[in-house]
Every structure is written in C-alpha cells, then in structure tokens.
Amino acid sequence: MIAEQTRPASEEPDPVTAPTPIVGPEAPTARLPLVRLTPQQPAEPSEPSEPSEPSPGRVLLDQMGGVGGIVYTNVPAIVFSIANSFLPLLTTTLVALGSAVVLAVFRMVVRKEKVVAASGGIIGVAFAGAITLWTGSPRDFFLIGIWMGFAMAVGLTVSLIARRPVTGLMWSWFHGKRHDWRADRRVLRTHDVATLFAAVVATARFAVNQIAYQAGDTGILAIAKVATGMPLTALVVLVAVWAFRRSTKLLIKDPRASAAA
C-alpha cells in the first residue's frame, strides 16, 4: 500500500487549478472610489465699511468744551453781577477775572482739559473787563457776549442764503469731506432746517440780552445770559444731532434711498 503524500501548505498552487493571471490591456484595474474635488471659491473682498465714529452729539459738545464748558462760561458773569452790588467796579472786574482763572486751572488740572479749551474763558473775561473799565459802565461787561450772538445769527443766516448751511459744512468736515451732501436735496433741506433753527435761537438770544442791556441792571443781564445760554444751546445741539444722523442714514447707510430721492 502506497502512502499518499500530502502537499505542504507552503508550496505553490497546482498550475492546473490555480487561476491564471491576466497580463496586458485586458487585465482588470483596481477601481478606487471617486472623490469629486470642488475648486475652492476665492474669498470675495469685503466692501469697505464706514469706520466706527463717535456720536455726533458728543463731538459737538466737545467742540464747545462739553457740558461743563457751557456752564463755566456763565460763572464769571454771575460773579461779576453779585460782586458789582457791593464792590467798586475795578475790584468787581478783578474778582470776575480771578474766577475765570480759577475755573481754567480747575479744568486743566482736575478735568485734564486742553489748555486752549480751558483758557478761552480767561481771554473773553479779560476783554469784557477791559471794555467795562474803559467805559466805566458795569453793563458793558456783557457787551461782547451780546454782539457775539448777533454775529452768530448773521453768519448762520448768510450760510443759508449761500446754500451752504453751517450744520451741513460741519457734517461734511466730520466725515472727511468724502460725500457730496449738497447734491442730495433731502440732506440739504435737513441742514437748512437745522441751521435755520440755530439762526432763530441766536437771534432770540441777542434780542433778549439786548433788552436786558438796555435795562442797565447787571443782575437782569446775568439772568438773561444764563437763561439764554445752556437751555437754548442744548436745543440747538439736539436739532444738529438730528440733522447729522439723518444725513448719515441717507448718504452712508442707505445711499440708494438717497439717490432715488
């Protein structure tokens, strides 16, 4: 009996039963899963946006020295009016000038305001005191302020006649003069209204103070100066802020609405 020999597992397969490899162009190729590559879209350049800017009301107040600056301008006049009731004219003028100096030092040292903004009151009081001493009339201490109101009313009115209202010029300066604000009728009308309101207020201020000046009482003049000072200035600022915001909305935030107007 012949023992059957078993083939080791490590030997090559039987050439008869083993699959014959196919070589040539008919040979199957391994198919890899298709991966569809989508071209990366280039990032669209973002449109330049208007830089963030401070509040128009804040800017206008800063130009006038802030709320404190408006209040401080009335202090020397009040001091002068009170001192004039029991002190000679020269002493009264020096006391008013001293109060202006003290306020200027306070604004520079404590409130850290700029020298130009803080010392402006000293110059005004010095001129008013010089005129008062020259004429010898206490009421002339208020003369500069009265006629400055008149000059302001005239300047605002002239800007309206020239079709360049002051608030529009201020808005254009505030935005770097980059926008043709006068070409938009709605924006121009807006600043006409705001500047006209400021002109009316300046005219009313001049009229009230001039009537008080004719009365000749420094107490009445001080009251008129305070009454026509900060309250009316606050109204002018509010109207100017409205004009600023409306112009910004029409020309910057929604320019198409402005173009259709």
Query: In which region does residue 112 sit, left (phi positive, over 0), alpha (psi from -120 to 50) or beta (all else)?
Result: left
Helices 75-83 & 218-227, crossing angle to 10 degrees? Answer: 160
Task: Note the pLDDT of residue 92.
Answer: 95
| Tokens of residue 238, six digits | 């509010």
Per-residue exposure over 246-261, b if at least 16 CB sit within 10 Å of its own CB, e if not: bbbebbeeeeeebeee
| Tokens of residue 150, six digits | 């008149």
pTM to 2 decimal places? 0.71
Nearest Cα to Cα of residue 206 among 123, 164, 147, 138: 147
Q: What is the DSSP letter of 112?
A: -
Task: Note the pLDDT of residue 2.
Answer: 47
Span 132-150, pLDDT tens digits: 999 999 999 999 999 999 9
Query: In which region does residue 159 sit, left (phi positive, over 0), alpha (psi from -120 to 50) or beta (all else)?
Result: alpha
Q: How far apart are CA 259 and CA 261, in angstroms?
A: 5
Q: Which residue has the tokens 């597992």?
A: 9
Q: Is 183 exposed, middle or buried (0-12, 13-18, 19+ CB in 10 A)?
A: exposed
| Tokens of residue 20, six digits | 């014959």
Q: Which residues fall within 8 angstroms of residue 232, CB to CB, at 6 or more apart?
A: 201, 204, 205
H helical segments located in 162-254: 166-174, 185-215, 218-227, 230-248
Q: How far apart are CA 148 and CA 220, in angstroms?
A: 19
Task: Note the pLDDT of residue 99.
Answer: 94
Mean pLDDT by 10 residues, the chain (261 residues): 49 51 52 52 48 57 60 88 93 95 90 79 92 95 94 96 94 88 94 97 96 92 90 90 92 62 49
Give the phi and the psi of residue 188 in degrees, each rounded to 5: -65, -40
The domain ranges of the chain are 58-252
| Tokens of residue 31, six digits | 């198919």
Query: What is the helix, strand, coil percentage profile of the chain, to 5?
Result: 65, 0, 35
Q: Is residue 181 a contact partner of residue 168, using CB atoms and an 8 Å limit?
A: yes
Q: Which residue has the tokens 């409130």?
A: 111
Q: Is residue 167 a contact partner of residue 140, using CB atoms and an 8 Å limit?
A: no
Q: Is 165 exposed, middle or buried (0-12, 13-18, 19+ CB in 10 A)?
A: buried
